[in-house]
């Protein structure tokens, strides 16, 4: 909420922002830093990751990422959707209704990239299942962090203890990466309004530079909403 020029209290719309990209591109790092930067200038930020973010979602995450889990592609897709359904109902919708900035580490585009391109499931089926999960809620903006695949995979290897998805072979990760890149085209986005707008953020530089690029993307999209963030960005330079 904020006070309008006549003193009346006006509702501020919630904003639903998603960070996307393949393994090791720096999503979680930037998700933490963006949340801190926006909170520092007074925004209510609800930061959650997928799969997870609820009690049920965290249990589903453990099952999905455990390298010893044996899951068919359909089971996997349904479990990601189930985690998402709980997250949208319990966290995303209430936070958006309060006017918060909801920052999510991965959302439906990951399903299209991993279960669609990676596993070969048809996007129309994934879309139907996920309509049930999201109730049609689409992100207001997705920041797709872009890093060459070999560099990102080297980071993942350096991190150690790979999860079930990270252990997939190189061809799987090449398909996933190609699907993310395809989502940058305006033709693709027009055909998939459930994903919302997707823009690329070059994420190869040092961590601070990438955070500034992410913030700049938000300021550019919503200049009035993020005036304070823009000012602090200028001071940081
Ligand atoms: N800009 C950067 N430059 C160098 N290293 C980075 C950068 N951003 C993140 N890293 C490092 O790369 C590794 C992966 O980062 P992070 O966990 O944020 O990526 P991610 O995209 O969330 O990965 P995943 O999807 O596999 O969990 C971490 O060790 C992190 O410290
Ligand atoms: C939401 C979502 C995620 N995945 C995959 C992508 C990653 O390999 C893991 C999540 O791990 P992270 O460390 O949090 O990135 O799950 C997927 O395959 N499908 C999805 O919808």
Residue 5, domain member (yes or no): no
Closest ligand to the CA of 143: 1
- Testing ligand 2's pocket by substitution, the residue of 24, 32, 48, 50 carrying the most ligand atoms inside 8 A of its CB is 50
Residue 199's DSSP bridge partners are 143
- Asked whether the beta carbons of 106 and 19 are under 8 A apart, the reply is yes
Residue 4, domain member (yes or no): no
State the CATH number of the domain containing residue 193. Answer: 3.40.50.300
Write out the two tokens for 229.
């963030």
Ligand 2 contact via 31 beta carbon (within 6 Å): no
Q: How many domains does the chain have?
A: 1
Residue 158, domain member (yes or no): yes
Specify the residue with its C-alpha closest to ligand 2, atom 3: 110
Residue 126, domain member (yes or no): yes
Which conformational region is residue 47 in: left (phi greater than 0), alpha (psi within -120 to 50 degrees), or beta?
A: beta
Residue 62, domain member (yes or no): yes
CA 180 / ligand 2 centre spacing (Å): 13
10-residue block means of pLDDT along the chain (237 residues)?
A: 56 94 97 96 97 98 98 98 98 98 98 98 98 98 97 92 93 98 98 98 96 96 89 72
Residue 2, domain member (yes or no): no
Cα 2 from Cα 24, distance rounded (Å): 38
Residue 18, domain member (yes or no): yes
CA 35 / ligand 2 centre spacing (Å): 20
Instruction: Please give the pLDDT value at position 4.
Output: 47
Write out the two tokens for 96.
């958006």
Residue 81, domain member (yes or no): yes
Atom of ligand 1 minimally distant from the CA of 210: 1
Question: What letter would DSSP give residue 136?
Answer: T
Instruction: Please give the pLDDT value at position 56.
Output: 98
Q: Up-side HSE of residue 162: CA atoms within 13 Å toward CB?
A: 14
Cα 24 from Cα 203, distance rounded (Å): 10
- Asked whether the beta carbons of 107 and 84 are under 8 A apart, the reply is yes
Q: Is the ipTM of this complex over 0.95?
A: yes
Q: Up-side HSE of residue 83: CA atoms within 13 Å toward CB?
A: 26
Residues annotated in a binding site for ATP: 21-28
CA 125 / ligand 1 centre spacing (Å): 31
Domain range holding 197? 14-236
Ligand 1 contact via 100 beta carbon (within 6 Å): no
Ligand 2 contact via 84 beta carbon (within 6 Å): no
């Amino acid at each position: 909420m904020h006070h309008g020029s006549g003193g009346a209290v006006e509702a501020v719309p919630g904003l639903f922002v998603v960070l996307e990209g393949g393994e090791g591109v720096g999503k979680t790092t930037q998700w933490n830093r963006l949340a801190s930067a926006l909170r520092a200038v007074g925004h209510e930020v609800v930061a959650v990751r997928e799969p997870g973010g609820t009690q049920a979602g965290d249990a589903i995450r453990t099952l999905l990422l455990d390298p010893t889990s044996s899951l068919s592609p359909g089971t996997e897709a349904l479990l990601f959707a189930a985690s998402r359904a709980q997250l949208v109902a319990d966290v995303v919708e209430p936070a958006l209704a309060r006017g918060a900035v909801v920052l999510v580490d991965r959302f439906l585009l990951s399903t299209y990239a991993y279960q669609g391109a990676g596993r070969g499931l048809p996007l129309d089926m994934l879309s139907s299942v996920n309509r049930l999960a999201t109730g049609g809620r689409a992100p207001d903006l997705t920041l797709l962090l872009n890093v060459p695949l070999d560099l990102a995979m080297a980071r993942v290897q350096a991190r150690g203890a790979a999860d079930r998805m990270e252990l997939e072979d190189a061809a799987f990760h090449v398909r996933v990466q190609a699907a993310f890149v395809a989502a940058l085209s305006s033709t693709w986005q027009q055909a998939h309004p459930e994903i919302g707008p997707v823009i690329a953020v070059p994420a190869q530089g040092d961590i601070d530079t990438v955070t500034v690029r992410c913030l700049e993307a938000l300021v550019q999209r919503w200049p009035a909403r993020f005036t304070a963030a823009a000012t602090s960005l200028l001071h940081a330079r």
